Amino acid sequence: MMEKENARYSGGLKNGNCVCGARAVNRDSLEGLLREMERCAKAREVPILAEAARPVFLRTVREAAPLRILELGTAIGYSALLALRESPDARIVTIERDADMAEAARSFLGRAGVLGRATVLVGEAEKLLPTLAGNFDLVFIDAAKSRYPDFWLGVQPLLTKRAVVVADNVLFRGLVEGEGSEEWPKHSYRTMVLQLREYLRLVRSATGFRTEVFPEGDGMAVSWRDE
């Protein structure tokens, strides 16, 4: 998910602006619902998982075979639905700071028939993480990029022994690593870029983890716990 750091969305989603009705869908119609969500996200400029990054995300979910998933940054529930589709036995706790986004996510997940496997929490992740109980097999970080280092530290007590932490947009327009990173980032991106560099430093140096950064999309870091 690509984020506009200061103005995350172009507009709210009150009154179900992004949800076309409340009809349920069967399994054969799930792909159609995902396409509808993609159109909704494009029309409303809601950042969701980039098409190029989806194969990495889906492959990681399948390999992890999680029973409990934690997501930071629900948006309209697109990546949550993908994760639940790939892991039919899993349940997800997903955190979204925007109440309208959370409402849209609940509607879409309900139409997909998986809302009973999802808990959508509204609020700031840093405040909600300490209130969560139990452990998670997979964590997907796709929220405020400038807070990624804090998110990494905040989820550590919640991880199972074989957990995987996935973080999206870690290369942010090529400014974090690579040729584009040689220039000092402009002011509007500086904090975000520096914090993403710190995130990559943290995950690569973390004891008991092995991390691979995939260039697909805007960069995805996959950190497997391997103790």
CA distance 169 to 151: 14
Per-residue pLDDT of the chain (227 residues; tens, 9 = 90+): 544 443 344 344 543 445 443 455 555 589 999 999 999 999 999 999 999 999 999 999 999 999 999 999 999 999 999 999 999 999 999 999 999 999 999 999 999 999 999 999 999 999 999 999 999 999 999 999 999 999 999 999 999 999 999 999 999 988 898 655 556 656 668 889 999 999 999 999 999 999 999 999 999 999 999 86
**Closest to 78 (Cα-Cα) out of 126, 24, 36:** 36
pTM: 0.88
Tokens representing residue 217 in the block: 């999309």
Q: Does residue 118 lie within any of the structural domains? A: yes
Residue 74 near residue 120, CB atoms below 8 Å:
yes
- Is 162 inside a domain boundary? yes
Domain count, the chain: 1
Q: Which domain holds residue 62?
A: 17-225
214: domain CATH number?
Answer: 3.40.50.150
Domain-located, residue 9: no
Residue 45 included in any domain = yes
